[in-house]
Structure 1
Amino acid sequence: MDAGPYVWDGTYVPLEEHGDVEDKGILADCKFDPRNVSPTICNELDRADLFDLSQCETQSLGALVQEGIYQVELRGERALPDGGTRIVPSSTGFLLRDDGGTSTLYDQPILKLDMEGDRFVLQGQLPRTGLVMNLTGCEAKAPNILTGCFASCRRGQFTQGGTFEAHRVVKQEAEPESSGGLALLSEHRVSTGLAVDIYVTKGHAYVVSMPHQDQLGGLTVFDVSNPRNPVRTASISLPGDNFWNGVWAKDNALYVASNDSGVVVYDISQPAEPLFVRSLSTGGDGGAHTVLVDGNFLYAMVPISGTFIYDLTHPLDPVLRTVIPGGPHDSFVYEGRLYISDSSDGYALFDLANLDDIREVGRYIIPNGFSHHNAVGTFGGKTIAFEGGEFNASHVRALDVTDPANIVKIGTFKMRRVTSMHNLILRGNLLYVAWYQEGLRVLDVSNPTQLRQVAHHHVFRETDPLRGDSLFEGLFGVRVPGDGYVYTAESSRGLMIFNEL
């Protein structure tokens, strides 16, 4: 049955795939040639004259807001043996403090910051990888937008240089706090770590979190019988096993994706007080990143090894049925097919007709992209997948997957290039998207060739506890269980409940 009223006749013009980050050329007027660098550059990254700024509007730098969280698009250039260069897109983030607190790059205290007059020079490091980076400003395009040049070294060896564009990621000035009738009804912080996913069943919201700084991750349970006034009923964190990233349920069983152990199973026959039952090992050195339940099967996505499929004839005692090798991040089941967001290996489709002989029937490759999450429905008589990425410039793609051997991109929806989307949920003709610092976005997808935002609500505030400069902060998880409410997990603010449109 179609997902909603017929508004699309199924025709489209195929769109070319250029990956998540389409190169738009140099991002600043400063100059840096990676083919002609000083052999001592890695000892000189703190120099203010590291780059040629002669064509820059450096007098504008004094207008840059000297506080806040900035996300940075990096357009790196690496020298090739043949004398050419290769473009390497990536990202970073920095936090500026003007209250005496610690400014950071990569969530680490910066080594140098010079913002006097018409200068902007920031140097920072990521100790665990030996990376050191210099960001030098060229122009403040607006009070919240900075362009410039960068160079980086790793363990004393020059790696790349190029141009950058940084945006402060508070809500865009031209956009209101919310639109389309979407209203925040209540919120409640979790007890542990950063909230990253949520599942709602039995009148309760189960929010999982991952460790952050000196806080452990775990599970926080809320009674949401009155969504306007959620009540916390339990907080759980297992010693040595609390990096929890995904959650789902079936009947009286709750399944938690644990990066430490695999899948942790809880009995929620008493929904306010989950009771530990067992852990399902997914082998190797890595655990499960996400989980999905469809019918009588549990799917656990283990990025280092594959998709583990369990039989749920007895929900509290899952039995491993088979494993699909790969590097999955998340998955979705629709009309007998498994749709796997297969990380850097694209978007893969599998036929589930015979679990003893699961076959790949199609794959969509995203150059320089990362397939992260997806949902599938029927529109205009065609099977349409809404595929979402992660990392900077990730966005929603509408894909015609009716013929798995010939997957066609037919629509897109994008936000700022410096931000990343995360999870998405399809309900009827509406796609609810958790878009990290961009908040909750609701898209009308009744015409998949013209994805259109119909509502939004900002949630990211720089002043909330535990905020840092990571790209992966803000709204992580979203569920729309059909009770008239939208339940979300925000990394700092925790459980946030909105009205369903």
Structure 2
Amino acid sequence: MSLAGCRPEEEAPTPPPTNTTDARGDWTDPGRYAACTVSNTGTAACGELESFNLTGCDKASLGNMPRDGIYTLVYRSEGSTPGISAGSFRVSADGTQDFYRGGKPALRRVEPELFYLSNSRQTSATVNQRDAIVGCRVEGPRLYGCYVNCRNGQLTGRGTFLAEQWRPRAGEAEASGLRRVSESFVEQGLPVDIYVTQGHAYVVSVRHGTEGGGLTVFDVSDKSAPVLEKTFTLPTDNYWNGVWAKGNALYVASASSGLMVFDITRPAEPQLLRSYPAGGTIDVHTVFVEGERLYAMSPEPTPKTLIFDIREPLMPALLGEYAEAEAGADARLGFPHDALAYEGRLYINHWSAGFLIVDVSDPGQPKKLGGYTYPYATSHATAVGKYGERLIAFEGGENWGAHLRVLDVSDPASPRRIGEYALEPNASIHNMVLKDGKLYVAYYHHGVRVLDVTTPESPREVAYYNTFRETDPGRGQSFYEGAIGMRVPGDGYVYVIDTSRGLLIFPEP
């Protein structure tokens, strides 16, 4: 299973859910994007240019495509019920900065009436993966074409795509209402999440290409000049995607070891104590702490959320777990990507199954109360707060077109959408934090967005900072680049993780 946002870009498209409570999805199927086709017969090998049929394409229009820049794209798979996934590529006039599917293309053909990129890579000792895209027509800033996925020379996926060149938002400066006071590069892996406690920022990273991830510790007592204190990694266990803390315990979500527990009695010197479950191997993707409970969201091998007692923070004790019925057996039901606990309820972002509401007052017997989903759901993050007698949830997906939904969840059996906030569809939301009537959103390519949500039906942007710079090393390798992690711990500052720039600190607006 590939987890978008922190795993490499998906090769299998996201299927739509079987039932919906909202007919308005993040993406509306327009039908095939282009007239080209892909053949799995003939003499051309899978992924070669000759395997594409470009009859019916407007080849002359391809000359209008800018040949230098970053493009994000949405793949639409073939079939009666199409799936979608998102991707990215980068091209440069001389080919030296070309990227596709996370690496430099093995083959590039960019001519006045032809656009073709192919990437071939060895993903294991026995598996060679090849992916290719070909242009069919250009309309304005958009490129339309066909794609193919191959495994050991055999066709595994095909369809059409829409790609759009990334540009800064029209009329925007670098920032408005947010002032960056410091920036600290993270050396190891791809930084994705942060937790701030005891005057220190704990940044976790995932593997990136051949570079392993791990834990990076900064002393942030001086916000204008953070000091690197410690890096920690393991040779074969270094895909660490989520982090939280309670007291002197630091909890890290590991793709290999599940829930990792560090002792931070000496904040600059974390000591790894143990992992849960002991002796088992599960993928924990994210963690969340509320009071004396810790929730660990595990997509594999069985999609479920583990519930721990942390009255003794350094010694978590398993209390129970919640698993959506048939999840794992039915891929359309997705997996728990993230979650938030609030007043006895757990709000789970269950990817293609949507947004679930679970009663965890008895952790040994969690009970589903309701849910909210929509076509082509990729429910990824949430924030919840009380507005008078109303309970309001802010829910965001993570895909092409994903945006913010405002839900009234006062009646958990019948959540209602009451508002929305969206920017251009070629970039996605990642994480969000609700504090003092403001919603802080890490919006990948669109940077940091701060919304006034005192009237939740009408989110109003009051500040932003565009963290994304296409000149930074590695930009254009993934759809999931830019502002990704965020904390607003209440010390008057906003801490943001950018996938290229690292840790950025801003005073609260």
Bin for the TM-score computed over the shorter chain: 0.7 to 0.9
The yes-or-no answer on 1:331 pairing with 2:336 is no
Q: Give me the whole-angstrom Cα distance separating, in 2, the residues matched to 1:418 and 1:154.
A: 28
Letter in 2 for 1:118: E
Match of 1:23 in 2: 29
The answer to whether 1:278 aligns with 2:274 is: yes
Asked if the contact 1:343/1:371 (under 8 Å) is kept, the reply is yes
The residue correspondences of 1:143-162 to structure 2 (distance < 5 A) are 144-158=141-155, 161-162=158-159
- CA distance 1:214–1:348, change in 2 (3 Å): same
CA distance in structure 1 between the aligned counterparts of 2:86 and 2:128, rounded to whole angstroms? 17
Q: Tell whether the 8 Å contact from 1:170 to 1:460 is kept in structure 2 after alignment.
A: no
Name the residue aligned to 1:165: 162
Match status 1:178 vs 2:175: yes
User: For residue 426 of structure 1, what is the aligned residue in structure 2?
Assistant: 434
Identity %: 43
Larger Rg: 1
> Structure 1 residues 488, 155: closer, same or farther in 2, change over 3 A?
same
Cα distance change on mapping 1:87 and 1:324 into 2, 3 Å: closer
Q: Check if 1:189 corresponds to 2:185.
A: yes
| Mapped pair 1:108 → 2:103 | yes
Contact 2:198–2:267 at 8 Å: present in 1 too?
Answer: yes
User: How many residues are treated as equivalent by the alignment?
Assistant: 475
Task: Please list the CA deviations of residues 117-155 of structure 1 after superposition, one character each: whole Å capped at 9, or x if unmatched.
Answer: 23322233465475544433244434x532334455555
Partner of 1:62: 63
TM-score, normalising length from structure 1?
0.87
2:221 to 216, 221, 225: 225
Taking a change above 3 Å as real, the CA distance of residues 240 and 46 of structure 1, as seen in their structure-2 partners, is closer
Matched, 1:88 2:83: yes
> Secondary structure at the residue paired with 1:43?
coil
SS of aligned partner of 1:235:
strand
Once the 2 structures are TM-superposed, how far is the Cα of residue 53 of structure 1 from its aligned partner? 5.8
Contact 1:459 1:475 in 2 (8 A): yes
Give how far 1:52 is off: 4.4
Q: Is the 8 A contact 2:46 2:153 kept in 1?
A: no
Q: Which runs of 5+ in 1 are unaligned?
A: 1-13, 79-84
Shift of 1:481: 1.0
Alpha-carbon distance in structure 2 between the residues aligned to 1:38 and 1:251:
58
Helix, strand or coil at the partner of 1:61: helix
Alignment check: 8 A CA contact 1:42 1:153 kept: no
Unaligned runs of 5+ in 2: 1-19, 325-334
Deviation at 1:479, TM superposition (A): 0.4
1:202 aligned residue (194, 198, 201): 198
Task: Give 1:65 shift.
Answer: 2.6
* TM-score using structure 2 length: 0.85
Q: 1:490 deviation in Å?
A: 1.3
Contact 1:46-1:112 within 8 A present in 2 as well: no
Superposition RMSD on alpha carbons, in Å?
2.7
Superposed CA deviations along residues 309-366 of structure 1, whole A, max 9, x for unmatched, are: 1111111111111122243111111122111112222211111222232211112233
Instruction: Specify the SS of the correspondent of 1:62.
Output: helix
Indicate the residue corresponding to 2:72 in structure 1. Answer: 71
How far does residue 284 in structure 1 lie from its aligned partner after superposition? 4.8
CA deviation string 1:427-446 (max 9, x = no partner)? 12211111122211112222
Alignment correspondent of 1:5: none
Change (3 A) 1:265 1:462: same
Task: Tell me the distance in 2 between the aligned counterparts of 1:274 and 1:109.
Answer: 37
Q: Is the contact between residue 203 and residue 216 of structure 2 (CA under 8 Å) also seen in structure 1? A: yes
Deviation at 1:44, TM superposition (A): 7.0
Asked if the contact 1:32/1:162 (under 8 Å) is kept, the reply is no
CA 1:155/1:246 → structure 2, altered by over 3 Å: closer, same or farther? same
Give the CA deviation at 1:500.
1.0
Q: Is the 8 A contact 1:132 1:153 kept in 2?
A: yes
